[in-house]
Amino acid sequence: YLTRLRIAEPKLRSFLHIADEESILRQAEEVDRKIERNEEVGLLGGVLVGVKDNICTSDMPSTAGSKILDGYRPPFDATAVKKVKELGGIIVGKTNLDEFGMGSTTEGSAFQVTANPWDESCVPGGSSGGSAAAVSARQCVVSLGSDTGGSVRQPASFCGVVGLKPTYGRVSRYGLVAYASSLDAIGCFGTSVADAGILLQAISGHDRFDSTSSMREVPEFISKFTASNILESRPLQGLRVGIIRETLEDGVDANVVSSICEAASHLEDLGCSVTEVSLPSFSLGLPAYYVLASSESSSNLSRYDGVRYGNQVTADELTNLYGESRARGFGPEVKRRILMGTYALSAGYYDAYYKRAQQVRTVVRKSFKAALDENDILISPAAPSAAYKIGEKKNDPLAMYAGDIMTVNVNLAGLPALVLPCGFSEAGPANLPVGLQMIGAAFDEEKLLRIGHVFE
Ligand code: GLN
């Protein structure tokens, strides 16, 4: 892994910081010694884990892809990171992302652009593009990302790996740099459903440092992977799958639609009954998401004032110090979100935008709940297209936002979703991966993982 990390890194630029190789080897040798002595090494014993750079680590920088946090070293580990370490995982480095998680290509990082390992002229997706590319290129075994509106699932789809966004509250957000707190979730990347599930097992559970983390007991996700019925001819007999009609309509690439349809017939062969489900509110999710996510971010990002965190400019007056630090520290997309969010929350427009978006969120949540009462899981593409060229949508924010149509509803409803490779696009010389999204009922990650495991 370390050799591959080193060789691939100059081309891919997945990492913003790589741990000292000697320290990684020392930790690995310690695991070896424990194994020799027959001692417990933990669920992640010796496993190399990449961590998105908006997740705090006490022994490495944590910039969230922003100049305003350049050089920042948190005095603590995020709960998810702490758990990974306690269970024997070895953190190899911090992965690249769109600044504060705002973007869908990783081009929005203040430091570097990450390339897609399948075609280096294409984006890896985002905002967790570094974490997805690193796992796809086998620079690490698994990685942590964050998903506010699709940032684990869409890059998983673009890079041909498995991405898992847990139910809101399943994993503590303590130490995750806040983007939109009511939507943010830490998620997992792996090259198999089992790997992503094992990482989820490691990081799940209540945390007294995050009051929104759930008190629910964490089930044994992993025992499901050894399901004895996997060799039966119809191991998913009796499960009901709803395919969301609105996700296969105009604006979705033909090769994506055909891959999803093939996946649906594969699920039928495995024993599922697949029926079409209509969610008329589906397309309302995108505008509601962008109003809510921007509003929450404008509030969350007010803490970066050049005094408490990161880089400070010298100024004659305090207000100029705030203004100049933020003007120089934030990139253009982050400024756009802060402006949109501040506008939507302002007294005169609150009812028309923020309140309205909250009402739409309730409608979306209810429609998903109703569809999941009738079905075990819902399926859709993870994105309307496969990966596209670096630069293609960089200067067209609305086109970039439109690409999030498949994923944002899941965050509005707080549901878990799994993305796994299901085909290839045949457009152009590069055959790029296409991802299938499976959406489950709240706190039913177990079922998603079981179905995903049998499917792959
Ligand atoms: N692309 C979406 C956005 O820019 C989602 C990002 C995310 O999930 N962090 O808001």
Domain spans of the chain, in order of start: 2-235+381-455
Q: Which segment of 128-142, 309-323, 336-350 scores lowest on mean pLDDT? A: 309-323
Ligand 1: centre distance to CA 150 (Å): 6
Q: Which segment of 101-105, 175-179, 209-213, 313-317 scores lowest on mean pLDDT? A: 313-317
**Under 8 Å between Cβ of 166 and 187:** yes
State the pLDDT confidence band at 394, using cuts at 50, 70 and 90: very high
State the pLDDT confidence band at 244, using cuts at 50, 70 and 90: very high
State the pLDDT confidence band at 417, using cuts at 50, 70 and 90: very high
Q: Indicate the SS3 state at residue 34.
A: helix
Q: What span, in angstroms and rounded, lies between the C-alpha atoms of 50 and 142?
A: 6
Ligand 1: centre distance to CA 223 (Å): 32
List Cα–Cα distances, 135 to 128, 242, 337, 388, in angstroms.
Answer: 11, 30, 29, 19
Mean pLDDT of the chain: 95
Higher pLDDT, 310 or 428: 310
Query: What is the model's pLDDT at position 233?
Result: 83
Q: Find the mean pLDDT for residues 402-406.
A: 97
pTM of the full structure = 0.97
Check the CA dihedral 21-26-29-34 and report its sign. negative
| Total H helices, total E strands in the chain | 14, 11
Higher pLDDT, 221 or 332: 332
Q: Find the mean pLDDT for residues 18-41.
A: 97
Q: Find the mean pLDDT for residues 401-422.
A: 98
Helices (H), 16-64: 21-36
Measured from the Cα of 293, ligand 1's closest atom is: 10
Ligand 1: centre distance to CA 245 (Å): 23
State the pLDDT confidence band at 321, using cuts at 50, 70 and 90: very high
Over residues 256-300, the pLDDT tens digits come to 999 999 999 999 999 999 999 999 999 999 999 999 999 999 999
Q: Find the mean pLDDT for residues 212-226.
A: 85
The CATH number corresponding to 2-235+381-455 among 3.20.20.140, 3.40.718.10, 3.40.50.1000, 3.90.1300.10 equals 3.90.1300.10
> Ligand 1, from 52, 98, 181, 290: best to mutate by most atoms within 8 Å of Cβ?
98
> Ligand 1, from 106, 131, 148: best to mutate by most atoms within 8 Å of Cβ?
148
Q: Find the mean pLDDT for residues 334-356.
A: 96
The torsion angle over the Cα atoms of residues 104, 56, 142 and 453, rounded to 10 degrees, is -70
Ligand 1: centre distance to CA 343 (Å): 19
Query: What is the model's pLDDT at position 348?
Result: 94
Beta-carbon neighbour count of residue 238 at 10 Å?
Answer: 9
The β-bridge partners of 94 are 17, 51
Angle between helices 254-269 and 445-455 (to 10 degrees): 90
Over residues 136-183, the pLDDT tens digits come to 999 999 999 999 999 999 999 999 999 999 999 999 999 999 999 999
Q: Given a cut of 90, is residue 229 above it in pLDDT?
A: no
Q: What span, in angstroms and rounded, lies between the C-alpha atoms of 267 and 449?
A: 14
Q: In the chain, pLDDT over 90 holds for what percent of residues?
A: 93
Q: Given a cut of 90, is residue 223 above it in pLDDT?
A: no
**Under 8 Å between Cβ of 107 and 126:** yes
Sheet of strand 48-52: strand arrangement: 15-18, 90-95, 48-52, 142-146, 186-190, 162-165, 417-424, 433-439, 377-381, 240-244, 273-277
**Under 8 Å between Cβ of 77 and 175:** yes
Q: DSSP string of 313-380?
A: ---SSHHHHHHHHHHHHS-HHHHHHHHHHHHHHSTTTTIIIIIHHHHHHHHHHHHHHHHHHH-SEEEE
Query: What is the model's pLDDT at position 225?
Result: 61
Ligand 1: centre distance to CA 239 (Å): 31
What are the catalytic residues?
52, 127, 151
Among 131, 216, 205, 207, CA closest to 174: 207
Measured from the Cα of 151, ligand 1's closest atom is: 8
Written as one letter, the residue type at 246 is E
Residues with CB under 6 A from ligand 1: 101-104, 127, 146-151, 179, 293, 404
- Residue 30 exposure: Cα atoms within 13 Å on the Cβ side: 14
Measured from the Cα of 103, ligand 1's closest atom is: 4
